[in-house]
Chains A and B, each alone.
Chain A
């Protein structure tokens, strides 16, 4: 590909070459060389591959920038639902670290011998109810049951911890059976966020990180769900087998537990005591 583009540039410069061979050769090399480098650099670069749960979508970029600023090491986040990422890791995906949305997926990987260390909790997530219209959250349980709400988005409880927490809350508030027919399931928390922002679902249960994200331009109305109504969302991290002997991976692991990472996570609404 790079060669192809390079060749094309060469051909383009040919008429000049006949006039002033020296200059034009230099000129075409200046175009040619960056083009080649652009396509070959990724082969040599040893970026750290970090599999991150969907709720970390925006905060992982901020963490990555801060980590690069401190160490010069570039991380490459792969964002997906924790279940999907776990399936990929079990099938030999070349990831160095896994930041899950819960403890059970990292625990599974640990038991299967796919990790270098035991999983540790790096943050606790907080569940919110959120909408792009002000639906009156003071007694959201009642609002959900009214005709005003036709769709409630939650992440798939079988694979996404925030979805599981949402279901637990609805159950604890005694409204799950009444609103069950209104529930639509997002493949991950990111999809739930899409449903909320575009308004295809009037309301959804998501992570506080969504409303703390400066990249979000939509005005959102939200309310923190009482943490007593759902099991704590303990987000676990593991260093994977693939990172064995990789000092950079070990550094990022340490960084995730450092005060600077904690400050960033806290700013995005995570509990990091």
Chain B
């Protein structure tokens, strides 16, 4: 039994989650303060992959990454990076694709914190950044955990984009969801079932742990 697609999926989801945590926290913080038109537009763009068909994203990434023109050509010439058919390409696609799952819960949790919290911190001489790290973030722990788990789980479930820009290369871009599709096409239902069961189990454990954790926190997990 070849388990590399499962490891590859976990690796992709892990790297994506760490990157998104680093990007999502400050962005969510920035978006949670004020409602300028510019911020609304940015938030809309970040949220769009939630509803946009993955094939749309896959199609545009395919065009953008083509080494013959546009950004793909520039990347290849300048940095010798080729995103299409590569693991970094999948990471980039996943970051775009799973961003709303990281940003959404964090942003709404930050907005629900009473303003007095940061005001008190500021009046005690803490900078904005110190306030964010030491006061605000510890107060949104449940939502932060939800965001992390949902981002991870959503990346596990990525299929359409990978199918379009991955190239199905063993050990590089053949993630578990693709391996399932492949096995079904080959009429190898045994293999398809094994991968599916593993994904099913991981996803179930992830989602149920968020629900249980949030039950203790008396909050809806999707907040």
Q: Is the CB–CB distance between B65 and A200 below 8 Å?
A: yes
Contact across chains for A198 and B63 when beta carbons are under 8 A apart:
yes
Chain B contacts for A201, CB-based, 8 A: 85, 167
Bound Cα distance from A84 to B184, whole angstroms: 7
**How many residues of chain B get a CB closer than 8 Å to chain A's CBs?**
23
User: Which residues of A are found within 8 Å of B82, using beta-carbon distances?
Assistant: 150-151
Residues of A within 8 A of B169 (CB): 183-185
User: Of residues 77 to 118 in A, which have CB atoms within 8 Å of B's CB atoms?
Assistant: 81, 83-84, 86-87, 90, 108
Beta-carbon contact of A199 and B68 below 8 Å: yes
Give complex CA distance A201, B85 in Å.
9
Per-position binary interface string of chain B over residues 162-184, scored 1 when its CB falls under 8 Å from any chain A CB and 0 otherwise: 01110111000000000001101
Cβ–Cβ contact B62 & A86, under 8 A? no
A87 lies within 8 A of B187 (CB) = yes
Chain B residues within an 8 Å CB radius of A195: 167
* Smallest CB separation, A117 vs chain B (Å): 21
Give chain A residues whose Cβ lies under 8 Å from the Cβ of B65. 200
- Tell yes or no: A159 within 8 A of B by CB: yes
Kindly identify, within residues 56 to 95 of chain B, every residue whose CB is under 8 Å from any CB belonging to chain A: 62-63, 65-69, 72, 82, 84-85
Whether B186 sits at the interface, judged by CB under 8 Å, is: yes
CB-CB under 8 A for A184 and B187, given A199-B68, A200-B67: no
Q: Which of B65, B82, B185, B186 has the most CB of A within 10 A?
A: B185
Docked complex Cα distance between A73 and B182 (Å)? 35
A158 interfacial by beta-carbon distance below 8 Å? yes
> Nearest Cβ in chain B — how far from A168, in angstroms?
18
Contact B66–A199 (Cβ < 8 Å): yes
A13 CB within 8 Å of chain B: no
Q: Is A46 in the interface zone, CB < 8 Å from B?
A: no
Say yes or no: A194 contacts B168, CB within 8 Å: no
Tell me whether A185 and B167 are in contact in the complex, defined as CB-CB below 8 angstroms, given that A108-B187, A158-B186, A159-B186 are known contacts.
Answer: yes
Q: Does A126 contact B (CB under 8 A)?
A: no
**CB pair B182 A200 closer than 8 Å:** no
Residue contact B185 to A83, C-beta cutoff 8 Å: yes
Collect the chain B residues with CB atoms within 8 Å of residue A156's CB: 168, 182, 185
**Nearest residue, chain A, Cβ from B192:** A87
> Shortest beta-carbon distance, B165 to chain A, in Å?
8
For A150, give the chain B residue with the smallest CB separation. Answer: B82
Q: What distance in Å separates the Cβ of B191 from its nearest Cβ neighbour in chain A?
A: 11
Are A200 and B185 in contact, with the CB atoms below 8 A?
no
Query: A184 near B85 (CB under 8 angstroms)?
Result: yes
Question: Which residues from 143 to 197 on chain A have a C-beta closer than 8 Å to any C-beta of chain B?
Answer: 150-151, 153, 156, 158-159, 183-187, 191, 194-195
Instruction: Identify the closest chain A residue to B165 (Cβ).
Output: A200
Pick the contact of B187: A83, A151, A185, A198 (CB < 8 A): A83
Query: In the bound complex, do residue A200 and residue B187 qualify as a contact, i.e. CB atoms below 8 Å apart?
Result: no
- Measured between beta carbons, the chain A residues less than 8 angstroms from B72 are 200
- Chain B residue, CB-CB nearest to A151: B85
Q: How far is it, in angstroms, between the C-alpha of A133 and the C-alpha of B73 when the chains are bound?
A: 15
In the bound complex, what is the Cα–Cα distance between A86 and B184 (angstroms)?
Answer: 10
Which residue on A lies nearest to B65, using beta carbons?
A200
Partner of B163, one of A150, A151, A187, A200: A187
Whether A187 and B168, one on each chain, are in contact in the complex, defined by CB atoms closer than 8 angstroms, is yes
Q: Closest CB-CB distance, A115 to chain B, in whole Å?
A: 16
Q: Which residue of B lies closest to A187 (CB)?
A: B163
A86 touches B84 (CB 8 A): no
Task: Select from chain A the residue with minimum beta-carbon distance to B189.
Answer: A87
B3 to chain A, nearest CB (A): 18
CB distance from B57 to the nearest CB of A (A): 15
Contacting residues, chain B, for A200 (C-beta < 8 A): 62, 65-67, 72, 84-85, 165
24 A-B contacts, Cβ less than 8 Å apart? A81-B185, A83-B187, A84-B184, A84-B185, A86-B187, A87-B185, A133-B68, A151-B167, A156-B182, A156-B185, A158-B182, A159-B185, A184-B169, A185-B168, A187-B163, A194-B62, A198-B62, A198-B63, A198-B66, A199-B67, A200-B65, A200-B84, A201-B85, A201-B167
- 20 further A-B pairs in the complex, CB-CB below 8 A; given A151-B85, A201-B85: A81-B185, A83-B186, A84-B184, A87-B185, A150-B67, A150-B82, A156-B168, A156-B185, A158-B185, A184-B167, A185-B169, A194-B62, A195-B167, A198-B62, A199-B66, A199-B68, A200-B66, A200-B84, A200-B85, A200-B165
**Which 4 A-B residue pairings sit nearest by Cβ, starting from the closest?**
A184-B167, A83-B185, A199-B68, A185-B168
